[in-house]
Amino acid sequence: QVQLVESGGGLVQAGGSLRLSCAVSGSTLSLYAIGWYRQPPGKQRELVGAISSDGSTSYADSVKGRFTISRDLTKNTVYLQMNSLKPDDTAVYYCKAVTRGRHYWGQGTQVTVSS
């Protein structure tokens, strides 16, 4: 019903920046929020931040001040702007759509931050 496609991952140096995109399609009239998650190698998936239907955002403490979530409603796309990247930010990044009673996940995009 809802499809998500992440893009924009890659290899960057510590201190650099990267912008991820999450393209949303399908039945989105009941969409409540889009969340960004990441899964570092060998670790559990964790919440990075989210943007609600009214545009409000929230972030994990580990990325506050460095990451920004935004949206372009004309393109049905949510962005994750990542600045001042650290090696600990290395992970597969996923977006998740939340509707009434359902969650939908994208396939993920790899972000690698070198020292």
CA-closest candidate to residue 23, choices 47, 7, 37: 7
* Angle at 13 (CA atoms; ends 57, 71), nearest 5 degrees: 25
Average pLDDT over residues 90-107: 95
Q: What is the pLDDT of residue 35?
A: 97
Ramachandran quadrant class, 35 (left: phi over 0; alpha: psi -120 to 50; beta: rest): beta
Average pLDDT over all residues of the chain: 96
Helix (H, G, I), strand (E, B) or coil at 20: strand
For residues 69-97, give the mean pLDDT.
Answer: 97
Chain segment 15-71, per-residue pLDDT in tens: 999 999 999 999 877 889 999 999 999 999 999 999 999 999 999 999 999 999 999
Cα-based distances in Å from 52 to 16, 59, 110 = 27, 12, 24
Looking at the predicted structure, is the pLDDT value of residue 1 above 90?
Answer: no
